[in-house]
Structure 1
Amino acid sequence: MKRLARTAIILGATALLTACDPPAGNAIAVNEVTAPERADDTVANRADADAAKSILRPVEDEVAPPEPPPVEPVSLTISFADRGITLSDDAKTALDGLIAAPAMVTGGAITLRGHSDSRGHDGDNLVASRRRAEAVADYLLEKGVPRERMTVIALGENRPVAPNAKPDGSDDPEGRARNRRVEVEVQPPPVLEAGEDAPISNAATAEE
């Protein structure tokens, strides 16, 4: 009797445990449904994180190339120490250097102002000052500078940079030599609006 009762108890306990465990097939089904759901949640979380980073991260602007420095005007004084109208070798060397200046290369307007000393008749001095300025223009033309960029102005003896005579009234050769000159001024090209054509100035000879 005791053996039968013990066997009955064991069988009953085994049946109770078996009833509590879910079937193997159900366990597989749960795993098959849960795994994709977890994967989808992970992908969604990553997408949200990437979107947040994209919103918070500043957009890097494209680095623009540096603008070239502005073209500056340039000036030069050509001396005619011997009272003539012929360019000296030093004057030609100075003009060669001027031709390489950015204002010259970029096509700026050129003004040539001729001057003389006070010796002689005013009219003759005016003509001499113009011929000196034209001698500079001719040299620049030989070097390939368009004539239409140049304006010649004859000033004669009206604007000296040094006294033509000493305080006692005697002649001042050094002062007169400094006054026989051509002042060359080159301006940078004008800044044009979009679609605007560059103006073309005609060659001119003026007297002031």
Structure 2
Amino acid sequence: MMVSQWNSRARRISAATLLCLGITACQPAGMPANDTAAAPAALAQTVEDAPPPGNDQVEGNIEEAPKSIIRPDIGPSPSPTPPAKPVELTIAFPAKGYVADPAGMARLDEMLADPVLRLGGPITIWGHSDSSGSDAANLLSSRRRAEAARDYLLKKGVAADRITVIALGEARPVAPNRHLDGSDDPEGRARNRRVEIRVGLPDAASPADQPPETTQPR
């Protein structure tokens, strides 16, 4: 295409030169020859000054579309999945009762829906009591509370061989059972009547010797 354009320019220059020579031949005597001689040169210079066709001058004046710098074959890196962690929760029980309150049952249901539970890891249940009765009675109460939580999990389809029940009675309180003046502390006793549950990971040993919460003196 470039060769064709330059050939066309050469033909136009030749035609202009011949035209000017013919005008010069027909010019009357006395007319300055410099004006007619300069015409072909000026015309040729005008044609020569035209810029040569570049890569952006194509037929039909169609410009090449800019290319995107984004590579379609490279997508964003996927976010890494966070590692699973053991699940721990505490369920409160009423005084002299072995059935959790509605809030405690709701927490059990949340634990059953947790993906960690479906991994098949060990489940440890610790039962606790306040100090309102004898050591033997409190130990029995703590066991019954832990077994009530275990039975609920079994009812929901959790395998029995995954569950370990440990009764601790009043030995590991998390709040004082009495005030410093010796009077009863109902709020502290309510916190101590509890069941603690830990759902471990499949490759983790069962932490049967250490409940989740820290013991506080009575």
The TM-score bracket by the shorter chain reads 0.5 to 0.7
> Deviation of residue 102 (structure 1)?
2.2
Tell me the secondary structure at the aligned position of residue 136 of structure 1. Answer: helix
Q: Normalising to structure 1: TM-score of the pair?
A: 0.59
The answer to whether the Cα contact below 8 Å between 1:83 and 1:177 also exists between their aligned partners in 2 is: no
- Give the equivalent residue in structure 1 for 2:73: none
- Give the equivalent residue in structure 2 for 1:132: 145
1:1-208 equivalence runs, <5 A: 68-190=81-203
For 1:157 and 1:166, locate their aligned partners in 2 and report how far apart those are by CA, in whole Å. Answer: 16
* Structure 2: tracts of 5 or more residues without a match: 1-76, 209-218
Please list every run of at least 4 consecutive aligned residues from structure 1 whose deviation after the TM superposition is greater than 2 angstroms. Answer: 64-69
Give CA deviations for 1:73-104 in whole Å, capped at 9, x if unaligned. Answer: 01000001333101222211110000111220
* RMSD of aligned Cα (Å): 2.4
Paired residue type of 1:156: G
For 2:117 and 2:100, locate their aligned partners in 1 and report how far apart those are by CA, in whole Å. Answer: 20
Larger relative contact order, structure 1 or 2 (CA cutoff 8 Å, min sep 6): 1
* Structure 1: tracts of 5 or more residues without a match: 1-63, 192-198
Change (3 A) 1:92 1:132: same
Identity rate of aligned residues, in percent? 57
Q: Normalising to structure 2: TM-score of the pair?
A: 0.56
Tell me the secondary structure at the aligned position of residue 139 of structure 1. Answer: helix
**How many equivalent pairs are there?**
133
Q: Which has the higher helix share?
A: 1
